[in-house]
Structure 1
Amino acid sequence: MNIDLSGLLTGYLASISLIMAIGVQNAFVLKQGLKRQHLFLTAFTCSLCDSLLIVMGVLGIEVLTNDYPVLTQILQWGGALFLVGYGLRSFWSVFHPHILVASLESPGKSTKMATLLALLGFTFLNPHTYVDTFLLLGTIGAEQEPHEQIFFMIGAIAASATWFFSLTYGASKLSPLFKNPRAWQILDTLMGCIMIGIAIGLVI
């Protein structure tokens, strides 16, 4: 089988343009990088989940949501509640920035299981993940010729891995800046607004 560079490039560019948009998943990944907590687990989990959704979308699993609209409602309300919870947690952190500053000095404070569960929540309880990664990329991939779809998926998955590993490890280099409590207050305020805003948008 010849390598289809056009399919690879199409998948890579389509994926990276969607994944780079500011959202709750990227905000959480950024925070993990700044705290230098479980960097590989964070980047690998996000990349793996994205890969699964990309493959499922391209292969046509989006038909399931058309046949069972109740799944969309469950996603909508479940995702909204999850985002509100983490949004309120971010606002709480605004008034306790010293805790996060201290966590930079003790990166093992958060357990791997807690991090993994949060990442899975931000991925599979976030309807925007399904819209971007599952439906949009799936639709673009499904429009490719059958022999091009495999290369589209490879390109899209490569873009996801590139982004999440770059964001996680790149953010870790900014940790010295976030030893200032004011920096954490600004970041948590922005994260809280993003999460609550998306949650309101979902229910409206």
Structure 2
Amino acid sequence: NSSSLPALSTYQSFQKRSFDFIVAFLGLLALWWLIIIAYITASFDTRSNGFFVQGRVGKNGRVFKVVKIKTMRPIKGLDTTVTQSGDPRITSLGAFFRKTKIDELPQLWNVLLGQMSFVGPRPDVPGFADKLQGEERAVLSLRPGITGPATLKYRNEEEILAAQEDPEAYNRDVIFPDKVRINVDYIRVWSFKQDINYIVRTVLH
């Protein structure tokens, strides 16, 4: 029964969306030049379109196209969606973009359009969030976020996965279920102040 799932109130949703729209608009106004420079250099670096565009599961299970700066070059025979530390597909410039979070800047456009939020569950490729059952489906009541409590806990996710014998299985069986639990709790105790706290912690990290 979806009505019994944890969810934000209408006012809380309005607060969250208003903040997202205003800050994304101002962010794009201030940083459009940096996004263009990153796009051009990534295009040369990866010898392809400097934007990485991929279908991700959004609010209510709807798939949308997330936009990031491309940080990888394809390597034949390596097509996993799980990225580990030292992944040979990541270029030197791409590693810099990932470390500085410049690769995330185009997602301001996703936030402006209402496909994403600044804070929420990370948007996953189909096959994860869209398969959730029971109370865990509450995660789909939110727009995916650029950051959030689960993202902060697993900020070293690539290093954690690199240490595993089977990174894909560990991500599926350990990390993803833990992220879901964290995000359901996030919805249950949501506050605007806490969202600001997550954003500040992300920027200062």
User: What TM-score bracket applies, with the shorter chain setting the length?
Assistant: 0.3 to 0.5
Structure-1-length-normalised TM-score: 0.34
Higher RCO (CA-CA < 8 Å; seq separation 6+)? 1
Structure with higher strand content: 2
